[in-house]
Amino acid sequence: MSFTNRIITLEQFIIERESEFQFATGELSQLLRDIGLAAKIISREVNKAGIADILGQAGEVNIQGEEVKKLDVFSNEHMIHSLSMGGCTCVIGSEENEDIVPVTSIQSKNAKYVVLTDPLDGSSNIDVNVSIGTIFSIYRRISGSGPGTLADCLQPGIKQVAAGYVIYGSSTMLVYTTGHGVNGFTLDPSLGEFFLSHSNISIPEKGKTYSVNEGNYHQFPTGVQTYLNDLKTGEKPYGSRYIGSLVADFHRNLLKGGIFLYPSTASAPNGKLRLLYELNPMAFIVEQAGGKASDGKQRIMEIHPESLHQRSPIFIGSKAEVEKAVGYL
């Protein structure tokens, strides 16, 4: 096989796989391309953030009570704009917006899809040049025509038709699934195209590393404390790898194996991470790659959300590692 025959772009891959979609009308393919375009724009700004004067605070506080970074604002605006203009999205839920964003453009009049997104995950790492990312989740609408509704957004993760993330690191990579395996695409900035670089990603069943904010150790449930102690004192101690950016920690474990956990704490009994914007999409991806995601009691994707910014504990990664961790609870 010649080298040129092995090159495939994200758009080509999406079109070739369109027949795998349960409702193959071309709209989901277009929606994924819209997200890919937004990712390219965000990637460009992330890579020149230091010279574009968009690092640092924007002087606002989001619904989570966190200070909003300038790049957060930029990413959120461009993701919403790209999805709104694409004509495939009826409503958008963003971690940066308190309420849903119904799409009222003429081209979205009969849009069939709902997008939930964390436009810039790990934003606390922006100023120190650590990998950050974008997370997205796609559902079919359950309401009628016109702008989408809150009910469209409050669907359990098992209803997802696609999910993915983009990691902005030493290279920019987009990873997504439509329920038929997981594939990764790396951006060639000179050509402005995502090319297939990681096909049929499969997470190792076991790992040698764990990712957790151990600064919260004394607030963790007793079972989690015992679990972590055993990881560090066993015959073959696990290595600790914690970046503080979910996309970066998850991406490493997806390729290398391991577990990421953010359990409940005394000060955050419901956990910290957001079910709709972070956990459901990552759970869909990891399950499609052969891994597992649990809140410690049940499968993440079977939780029925009650609010847009609902939080949940999370144990996610290699199947054997998650099962082991949950066993301590």
Q: Measured between alpha carbons, how far is 115 from 100 in angstroms, rounded to an integer?
A: 10
Q: What DSSP string runs through 171-192?
A: SEEEEEESSS-EEEEEEETTTT
Q: Which 8-state DSSP code applies to residue 63?
A: T
Q: What is the tens place of the pLDDT at every residue in 195-249? A: 999 999 999 999 999 999 999 999 999 999 999 999 999 889 999 999 999 999 9
**Domains located in the chain, CATH noted:** 4-198 (3.30.540.10), 209-327 (3.40.190.80)
Query: Does 25 have pLDDT greater than 70?
Result: no
Q: What is the tens place of the pLDDT at every residue in 64-103? A: 676 666 888 899 999 999 999 888 999 999 999 999 999 9
- What angle (nearest 5°) sits at the alpha carbon of residue 63, between those of residues 304 and 310? 15
Q: Measured between alpha carbons, how far is 243 from 259 in angstroms, rounded to an integer?
A: 13
pLDDT at res. 5 = 56
Q: What is the tens place of the pLDDT at every residue in 98-117? A: 999 999 888 888 899 999 99
Of residues 257, 255, 305, 256, the one with CA closest to residue 281: 305
Q: What is the tens place of the pLDDT at every residue in 153-197? A: 999 999 999 999 999 988 999 999 999 999 999 999 999 999 999
